[in-house]
Structure 1
Amino acid sequence: TEKFKITDYLNDLSKNDMGEIHSCEISEADFYVGSYSIGDRTRAFLKVQDGCDYKCTYCTIPLARGISRSDALENVLQNAKEISQQDIKEIVLTGVNIGDYGKGEFGNKKHEHTFLELVQELDKVEGIERLRISSIEPNLLKNETIEFVSKSRTFVPHFHIPLQSGSNQILKLMKRRYQREVYTERVNKIREVMPHACIGVDVIVGFPGESDEHFLETYNFLNEMDISYLHVFTYSERDNTEAATMESVVDINIRAKRSKMLRGLSVKKRRAFYESQIGTHRTVLFESENKGGYIHGFTENYVKVKTPWNPELINTLHEINLTKIDDDGCARMEFTKIMNYQL
């Protein structure tokens, strides 16, 4: 919490001071939870939650960020309204464990709202074109939330759901709060109500005790599942974690090999997802950077598209048809309806 007092500390320094260290124990921290930041002209990141009560054996977040706590619903809605007044087209909901929203206290007030209620209320905020949910745990992504997003005015069909391993034995060693069957249920539910949705996956390779058989379980599980891309993390030891003391450490070279295999699978999955979207009608939000003479943007279901550079397209929404995939993996498009800009 001292970072929010830095100007006070600096103003207290005299010319003869060499400086001081100010810190507090994690249990004494009065964390500032609610905030937002503008990533670029097109989107803002709205923080609704901080901390985590989970005790995953590889993770130091509970030690560093404290227990799960959430911003008050009225504060989140006020921040969303402020963002909407700045001509920002998309809001990404963020937090350490956002599916746990509503847990903990804000100030001296106990929360009375759930993540589903948060989503429902944000959907009513005027002036927001898109709302996107960042990473959410599979056991906390409820069917009611999936169904609401499928019919929502502003929430887009894009989910990023951590898996970490496709082996139930490794999930147990990690102390994850679900088994792979729960993950399958979530993906199947999304596909049932939103066949065009983009589904991203976090996965860790090389966790202590992960044998070749365990890794192949993960690879085959992901290969057979209807997902859209992977974020692959190579396990690395962290001090003050249970996993750092575990036996059956996986060789660094084997970790690298497994990571490469899953990154290759991710390329294959993303390509297949993009190709499944060719010929469909989508809405694209263009970003602000000129990359090699092209302007890029993302559809509501997170297909990256490009078209020849035109600065007047920046931060504008357009209805398009997806026409083909270029060699660089980006989709090409043709305009069908101009929403915020006249050609």
Structure 2
Amino acid sequence: MPNQVAFYTLGCKLNFSETSTIARQFQDEGFERVDFNQQADIYIINTCSVTENADKRFKTIVKKALKTNPDAFIIGVGCYAQLKPQELASVDGVDLVLGATEKFKVTNYINDLSKNDFGEVHSCEINEADFYVGSYSIGDRTRAFLKVQDGCDYKCTYCTIPLARGISRSDTLDNVLKNAKDISEQDIKEIVLTGVNIGDYGKGEFGNKKHEHTFLDLVKALDDVKGIERLRISSIEPNLLKDETIDFVAKSERFVPHFHIPLQSGSNTLLKKMRRRYMKELYVNRVERIKSVMPDACIGVDVIVGFPGETDEFFLETYEFLNQLDISYLHVFTYSERDNTPAAEMDGVVPKAVRKKRSKMLRGLSVKKRRAFYESQIGKTKTVLFEDQNKEGYIQGFTENYVKVKLPWDPYLVNTLQSVILNHIDADGIVRGELVEREVLETI
């Protein structure tokens, strides 16, 4: 019987794409992949270190794995493993810790599966993370996350990602297109483009700052791949989201009208302290540009609360800025001090209780914004890609502009694109829809 391996992923879509790639390597070498809740010989945890909470969750997940199988071989990989390998290795039950470059060669480090008294560490200096490994994940049958870029050359004062992932570097256009075709051949209807800073797409390996291709080149090339019915841009910096890209998406048959654009603060004073590469006026311009050519576009926003120096006045400036902006939802991050970042040494520390209160206020604003966006779509006919789970008698899916819709459960609809009239918002905040007519849309 083959050895069994299970995976747990913390953090972003990029981590999910990389976990899937590592899992396929194991399967190619004869391992059997099982669910993390099942008995396995090896448990691999792909870590995140964007927030303090992600660090703490690692220990909980290790305990969960050991409860299922006390003799299991436990491996930690990913961003936290690169930043603090010894800290991970000291967690009870952890046998192996692999950093940014080593995680893609994990099977090379498994000689036997005997438990170690202390975790063995293989972690490079981050300036050695200068090569690129293409990845894609298949989270469910309906969509895949396709990695197109890794690392970041920005120096935001709160962020550890450049320390954890290295310099900005990109996949070749040919390889991205090959991966996209591979995905399309697996009957997956939607691809979500992911990376650390995907708008910076085109920089080559080994620190080559020259862009072989631009992000717009990538978008145009993917738009021509046959068999993909939907393409979604995940997160893109406002200063890198150009008019040409917005205009192309507006006319595209495959790219959907949904953008996720990090803001972080609605105060120019704080944006400067964060070393962001734009002011809030540019952000307004990007939102207005999108809405001018795609009135029904969904726009998501990342925002940080409690950054050092965020006074009540600065927070309210951010709150009002977001309240007035024509956006659809927020991802709210409560600032947490990270080692080796300039922000951790800054004056004006915001008490944690205040951070928590501000986070709650912005999460409440997000609920209001999403509700208003959903209400603006009621009565319209949209295309919904249905997922494969029966949730309390309903099947759910998302419209092209990211409205969550449900219909009474019907297995026929799984992994199909259907024209749906959006009727009303249910008590759970999900839109109830009605099929225009049962149809399986042809691949464009």
Q: Give TM-score scaled by structure 2 length.
A: 0.74
> Aligned AA for 1:72?
T
Match for residue 129 of structure 1? 229
Aligned positions of 1:142-221 closer than 5 A: 142-221=242-321
| Equivalent residue for 1:83, pick from 175, 183, 193 | 183
Match for residue 328 of structure 1? 428
| Equivalent residue for 1:238, pick from 328, 335, 338 | 338
Q: Distance in 2 between matches of 1:20 and 1:303?
A: 46
Q: Distance in 2 between matches of 1:201 and 1:78?
A: 31
Aligned positions of 1:252-267 closer than 5 A: 252-267=352-367
Q: Distance in 2 between matches of 1:260 and 1:111?
A: 41
**Gap change, CA 1:278 and 1:20, over 3 Å in 2:** closer
Q: Distance in 1 between matches of 2:336 and 2:115?
A: 43
Encode CA deviations 1:84-113: one digit per residue, 9 max, x unaligned: 000000000000000000123379996421
Query: Unaligned stretches of 5+ in structure 1?
Result: none
Q: Distance in 2 between matches of 1:9 and 1:264?
A: 46
Q: Secondary structure at the match of 1:208?
A: coil
Match for residue 303 of structure 1? 403
Q: Shift of residue 325 of structure 1?
A: 0.7
Query: Unaligned stretches of 5+ in structure 2?
Result: 1-100
Q: Which has the higher contact order (CA 8 A, sep 6+)?
A: 1
Is the CA contact 2:203–2:209 (under 8 Å) kept in the aligned structure 1? no
Match for residue 368 of structure 2? 268
Q: Distance in 1 between matches of 2:347 and 2:141?
A: 48
Q: Distance in 2 between matches of 1:262 and 1:165?
A: 12
Whether 1:63 aligns to 2:169 is no
Whether 1:8 aligns to 2:127 is no
Q: Distance in 1 between matches of 2:300 and 2:270?
A: 20
> Aligned AA for 1:229?
Y
Q: Distance in 2 between matches of 1:75 and 1:307?
A: 38
Whether 1:277 aligns to 2:377 is yes
> Aligned AA for 2:416?
T
Q: What percentage of residue pairs aligned between the two structures are identical?
A: 76
Is the CA contact 2:130–2:167 (under 8 Å) kept in the aligned structure 1? no
Is the CA contact 1:33–1:48 (under 8 Å) kept in the aligned structure 2? no
Task: Using the TM superposition, name which of 92-101 and 106-115 deviates more.
Answer: 106-115
Q: Distance in 2 between matches of 1:197 and 1:65?
A: 31
Encode CA deviations 1:157-190: one digit per residue, 9 max, x unaligned: 0000000000000000100000000000000000
Q: Give TM-score scaled by structure 1 length.
A: 0.95
> Aligned AA for 1:170?
L
Q: Distance in 2 between matches of 1:16 and 1:319?
A: 54
Q: Shift of residue 329 of structure 1?
A: 0.6
Is the CA contact 1:71–1:106 (under 8 Å) kept in the aligned structure 2? no
Whether 1:44 aligns to 2:144 is yes
Match for residue 222 of structure 1? 322
Is the CA contact 1:283–1:299 (under 8 Å) kept in the aligned structure 2? yes
Task: Using the TM superposition, name which of 331-340 and 241-250 deviates more.
Answer: 331-340
Encode CA deviations 1:33-66: one digit per residue, 9 max, x unaligned: 3111101010000000000000000000001100
Match for residue 249 of structure 1? 349
Whether 1:116 aligns to 2:193 is no
Is the CA contact 2:204–2:212 (under 8 Å) kept in the aligned structure 1? no
Q: Secondary structure at the match of 1:202?
A: strand
Whether 1:72 aligns to 2:172 is yes
> Aligned AA for 1:118?
L
Q: Distance in 2 between matches of 1:100 and 1:80?
A: 19
CA RMSD of aligned residues (A): 1.9
Is the CA contact 2:424–2:431 (under 8 Å) kept in the aligned structure 1? yes
Encode CA deviations 1:115-172: one digit per residue, 9 max, x unaligned: 0010000000000010000010000000100000000010000000000000000000
Task: Using the TM superposition, name which of 97-106 and 325-334 deviates more.
Answer: 97-106
Q: Secondary structure at the match of 1:289?
A: coil
Q: Distance in 1 between matches of 2:110 and 2:356?
A: 45
Q: Distance in 2 between matches of 1:87 and 1:14?
A: 36
